[in-house]
Amino acid sequence: MSQLLYVACPFSHKVPTEREHRFRTACRASAILMKHGIVVFSPLSHSVPINEFLSDIDSHDFWMSMDIPLLHRSDELLVLGMRGWTESLGVKKEMFECISLRKPITVIDEADIERLPAVPKHARRFLTSSILTEVYDDK
């Protein structure tokens, strides 16, 4: 069975164009990984379209209750280090869950998305990834 990579990034923001940028970036990163045969779950890519039909129950707690069980089924976490990722409550929760489950976490900068599944040597890693193994020298 293929390994599953969970792709996390921030979403909430007061400016609609920033939320759209975050959504499209998550979709773009997921598409790049999928083109390389990596099985991906991107909660943002999955949830934003569905949320149009759930506006009466839209809340952070609701979406975390949908996403965390899938994170538990995932093998690794990739965090897209976009503007706001260190303040994101969702990303913090996802990282904490992975640390407690001893699942590998890789954090890349937004500028490195186009080179996926290769990650730069300067990427922050917690435990060893068996999915994102190719490393490039960013010098």
- The answer to whether residue 114 is domain-embedded is yes
- The answer to whether residue 88 is domain-embedded is no
Pairing of strands 105-109, 124-126: antiparallel
* Structural domain range at position 114: 4-77+93-136
State pTM to two decimals: 0.93
Q: Show the DSSP H helices in the chain as ranges.
A: 16-35, 43-51, 60-73, 89-101
If one counts every other C-beta atom within 10 angstroms of the C-beta of residue 44, the result is 24
- Structure confidence at residue 67 (pLDDT): 96
- The answer to whether residue 20 is domain-embedded is yes
* Residue pLDDT, tens place only, 15-30: 999 999 999 999 999 9
Which pLDDT tens digits describe the chain residue by residue (139 residues)? 689 999 999 998 999 999 999 999 999 999 999 999 999 999 999 999 998 888 777 688 999 999 999 999 999 999 999 999 999 999 999 999 999 999 999 999 999 999 999 998 888 888 888 888 777 776 5
* Residue pLDDT, tens place only, 106-124: 999 999 999 999 998 888 8
Six token digits for residue 43: 């909660």
- The answer to whether residue 84 is domain-embedded is no
Question: Structurally, how many domains does the chain consist of?
Answer: 1
CATH number of residue 103's parent domain: 3.40.50.10400
